[in-house]
Each structure stands twice: as C-alpha cells, then as structure tokens.
Structure 1
Amino acid sequence: MNFKDLTNRTLITDNDLDWDDLGGGVKRKVMPFDDNLMLVKVAFEKDAIGSIHNHPHLQLSYVAKGSFEVSMGDDKKILNEGDVFFAPSNVFHGVVCLEEGLLIDIFNPHREDFLI
C-alpha cells in the first residue's frame, strides 16, 4: 500500500494493512496518520532487539503483548502487557523482547523516516 493512501484515513481495518519485515525478528505496521500523529504496531519475536536509538519525535509506547526490557537513558526496567513507556525527544531508548510481544507506538509528529 502507498503511504499516501494512509494519510488522514479515519476508519481502519487492520487486515487491510501489511507488515514490513525489519529483520532480526521485528516487523512493523504503519497505521494511518497525519502530520502531527502516527500510530505504529511493532511485533517482536522472543529475544528480538529494538536497538538503542533516539529521535526528535515524542514517543509513547504501550505494551500490548509480551514482556520487554526497556532502556530509557540510563534506566532499565522490565515492562509487561498493559505497561507504558514515554520517550522524550532525543532521549536514547531501546528494547529487548523477553517473550513474544507487541508494542503500540505513538509518535508526534509522524515519522517521515518510516515512510521511505
């Protein structure tokens, strides 16, 4: 699907959108978005790694399934289903999936780099 087709859509059927395999046991599904807000599903196999990185976007992540060791700056904590982490702008963060899991990531503004 062309990402332009996702811009400003208001009613979304999950099965209409494809997963993007990122390798290393991680796949991502970009959901509809606008300039200010983006929701992304990220599925992890056990032991998969979301590498330490930073970005200027605000990020809020909901653990929809599984268990993750989350690094945020100098802190680390195990988060489980129902837990949340907030990544402020430019703070280094990453995850290690301890059991098969799914994160729901929300970004402000949207991530242009995910649309390439």
Structure 2
Amino acid sequence: MNFKDLANKTLISDNDLDWQELGAGIKRKVMPFDDHLMLVKVEFEKDAIGSLHNHPHLQLSYVAKGSFEVTIGDEKKILNEGDVFFAPSNVFHGVVCLEAGLLIDIFNPHREDFL
C-alpha cells in the first residue's frame, strides 16, 4: 500500500502496511492520516538513538513497549511502557532506546516529510 492510499483511510489492518527501514536499528510504519493528524509506529532496537531534532509539528508519543531515555528541551527522563511524552512545536527532542521498544507517535499536522 502506498502513502496516497493511506490518506483519509478509516480502516487499516496493520499487516497491510510495510515497515520503512531507517537504519541504525530504527524502522517506522506510517499509519492512516489526513491533513491534520498522523499516527506513526516507530520500532527501536536496544541502544538505537532517535537523535535530537525539532519540527513545527506537535508530537505526542506513547511508549507501547520498552524503555527510553527521552530528552525534550532541557528535560531528560526515563520512560517505560505506558508512559507518554509531548514535544511542542520547534522544541528539540530525541530518545535513546534502553530496552528494545516501540513508540506510537501522533503528529499535528501530518508529517509531509515522512511521505
């Protein structure tokens, strides 16, 4: 399934979507989205690093599996399964995966650069 097929789709089976290998122990799966909202699964191997970055999008991330050291601005905290972090627009943020894990990222608006 290509990204154009995901836009505004209402019912999606996870098995119908492919992972995108990003290298360095990280891969992502873009889920359904519209102009305002996007959900992305990001899987990390132990010790993989989601380097510090920023973007204009609001980001809310749910730790679905594993353990991560999360940095947002000047704050740093270890988050585990069931925890959440919020990255405001244009604030630098990143993660270090301490135990193989999965983040569920939600963006507003959708990330055009992921398509």
Kindly indicate whether residue 87 of structure 2 is the aligned counterpart of residue 95 of structure 1: no
Q: What whole-Å deviation, never above 9, does each CA across 1:56-103 have from its counterpart, x for those lacking one?
A: 000000000000000000110000000000000000000000000000
Question: What TM-score does the superposition give when structure 2 sets the normalisation length?
Answer: 0.99
Tell me which residue corresponds to 2:14: 14
Counterpart residue identity of residue 112, structure 2: E
Tell me which residue corresponds to 2:83: 83
Partner Cα separation in structure 2 for residue 86 and residue 78 of structure 1: 14
Question: What TM-score does the superposition give when structure 1 sets the normalisation length?
Answer: 0.98
Partner Cα separation in structure 1 for residue 109 and residue 58 of structure 2: 7
Tell me which residue corresponds to 2:26: 26
Counterpart residue identity of residue 91, structure 1: V
Counterpart residue identity of residue 84, structure 2: V
**What runs of 5+ residues in structure 2 fail to find an aligned partner?**
none
* Partner SS state of residue 55, structure 2: coil
Tell me which residue corresponds to 1:5: 5
Partner Cα separation in structure 1 for residue 28 and residue 2 of structure 2: 15
Kindly indicate whether residue 113 of structure 2 is the aligned counterpart of residue 107 of structure 1: no
User: Alignment length, in residue pairs?
Assistant: 115
Q: What whole-Å deviation, never above 9, does each CA across 1:20-61 have from its counterpart, x for those lacking one?
A: 000000000000100000000000000000010000000000
Tell me which residue corresponds to 1:46: 46
* Partner SS state of residue 61, structure 1: strand
Deviating beyond 6 angstroms after TM superposition, the runs of 4 or more aligned structure 1 residues are none
**What runs of 5+ residues in structure 1 fail to find an aligned partner?**
none
RMSD of aligned residue pairs (Cα, Å): 0.4
